[in-house]
Amino acid sequence: MNPSNRSARRSFLRGAGALAAGFWADEALEALPQNTNTNSKPSDLKITDMRIATVVKPGPGPCPIIRIDTNQGIYGLGEVRDGASKTYALFLKSRLLGQNPCNVDRLFRRIKQFGNHSRQGGGVCGVEMALWDLAGKAYNVPVYQMLGGKFRDKIRIYADTTESPDPKIFGQRLKARMEQGFTWLKMDLGVDMVAKVPGALTRPAGAGLTYGDPVQHMFTGMEITEKGAALLDDYVAAVREQVGMDVPLSADHFGHIGVNSCIRLGKALEKHNLAWLEDMIPWQYTDLLKKINDAIDLPILTGEDIYLKEDFINLCRAHAVDIIQPDLATSGGILETKKIGDAAQELGVPMAMHFAGTPVSCMANVHCAAATENFLVMENHSADVPWWSDLVNGVEKPIINKGFITVPDGPGLGVTLNEEVVKQHLSPQDNGYFEPTTQWNTERSVDRWWS
């Protein structure tokens, strides 16, 4: 803390006759641990405002950054999930004003009914991050410490890498990642890569090819042929030739093929020892995922769209997946994601972490990853964005260093915003840099789920 603030607070307390008013005595202040932030009296901390600055970056977005202000001058930062509406956070504001942000779990339970799967979880999770940041700043401890401490000092990262139809070119890009220090790789391996080859794909005319198609996998009528599976097998073989067999290599975005095709393709890829096959079908179909998982000797993974721990536990209990991959900005925030990891660990399932936001949300992930024993590896979509690290201050730069992120020791999430850089990347559609949001102060409804 800033020593001048500490003495300023003491003189304020003396001047105000603070003892009689129930404030702490000087003696009590002296007894506080040296690290306690006496700028803030945590038990009297109250939320006074919530504002948004929406950042646009290459890749998934936009990313609405939340700032929750208090009556004691400290603020918390959080982030709505990439691509989600800032409204998902703002409509929680009236439920938070006047509350003590240090009661993180209590406030989370109050607002969690307003979250849902995928982007709809983004508001609740962004607020939860900001509450932890505030609690950490109020007590002057890093978030990982409030979660029970660290299992590791550095967080292993995998970086998404630009695709190429030529496996040699793509393999070279992955090799460059390894030279940058990355120790876990990932590739997209969609049926769109072979769609133009006659006889590689059986599909009704007009069926969408990419993961963006709104028709779910089982309902497209699209199936990969032996020939198509062999072509993707050849592609992975050529990539493996470049990067070797020793480094974990995950695969995603297969396209909306049916369950039998998932199995056909998965079996063809077994020899390449892929680290996981991601989201082969939507996460909601536990029995079908289990069918795929039982048929293929490669790890199956899902989770980036799941809100709250219950559905993760269901998947793990059924052993429908080998690995879960929550996105902390959807899954329920920092504490809920630790709970998800801990529950999965008891069922023998490791936890990777999906992530595509700014360094604010990144650090929320880093604290959770540090404090969750069965953590495996965390995603990053911005390894090639030169200004991504510059959005914040207070942590080691570059944030991703030789394939790892150092867990920060500063209070809360450990980052402050670099106002100048954030202002250079604001969304032109949104309302500027933490502009007033008073229109959300009085939004009300009877929110109780029971009577």
Binding site for Mg ion (CB under 5 A): 252, 278
For residue 279, the minimal CB distance to Mg ion (Å) is 5
Radius of gyration from C-alpha coordinates of the chain: 24
d(CA 421, CA 387): 8
For residue 353, the minimal CB distance to Mg ion (Å) is 12
For residue 422, the minimal CB distance to Mg ion (Å) is 27
For residue 269, the minimal CB distance to Mg ion (Å) is 17
Helix axes 104-111, 333-346, angle to 10 degrees: 90
d(CA 75, CA 259): 48
Nearest to 200 by CA among 188, 209, 212: 209
- Which CA distances in Å does 82 have to 117, 192, 271, 311, 327? 14, 25, 35, 22, 10
Other CB atoms within 10 A of residue 293 CB: 24
Helical H segments across 140-181, by residue range? 143-146, 167-180
For residue 423, the minimal CB distance to Mg ion (Å) is 31
Nearest to 136 by CA among 341, 363, 307, 392: 363
Between residues 147 and 189, which has the closer beta carbon with respect to Mg ion?
A: 189
Between residues 252 and 336, which has the closer beta carbon with respect to Mg ion?
A: 252
Between residues 47 and 280, which has the closer beta carbon with respect to Mg ion?
A: 280
CB 5, CB 39: distance < 8 Å: yes
For residue 341, the minimal CB distance to Mg ion (Å) is 18
Helical H segments across 160-225, by residue range? 167-180
Between residues 278 and 336, which has the closer beta carbon with respect to Mg ion?
A: 278
Between residues 192 and 390, which has the closer beta carbon with respect to Mg ion?
A: 192
Q: Which contiguous run of DSSP H or E holds residue 202? A: strand 201-202
For residue 433, the minimal CB distance to Mg ion (Å) is 31
Between residues 49 and 252, which has the closer beta carbon with respect to Mg ion?
A: 252
Residue 64 in 3-state DSSP? strand
User: For residue 209, what are its two tokens?
Assistant: 């090819």
Between residues 131 and 353, which has the closer beta carbon with respect to Mg ion?
A: 353
d(CA 159, CA 403): 8
Between residues 187 and 316, which has the closer beta carbon with respect to Mg ion?
A: 187
Between residues 223 and 278, which has the closer beta carbon with respect to Mg ion?
A: 278
Peptide bond into 60 cis (omega under 30): no
For residue 276, the minimal CB distance to Mg ion (Å) is 10
For residue 304, the minimal CB distance to Mg ion (Å) is 5
Residue nearest to Mg ion (CB): 252
Nearest to 356 by CA among 334, 380, 391, 326: 380
d(CA 157, CA 153): 13
Amino acid letter, 228: G
For residue 381, the minimal CB distance to Mg ion (Å) is 10
The residue assigned the tokens 């229109």 is 439
Q: Which contiguous run of DSSP H or E holds residue 359? A: helix 359-370
The residue assigned the tokens 């504002």 is 51
Between residues 223 and 304, which has the closer beta carbon with respect to Mg ion?
A: 304
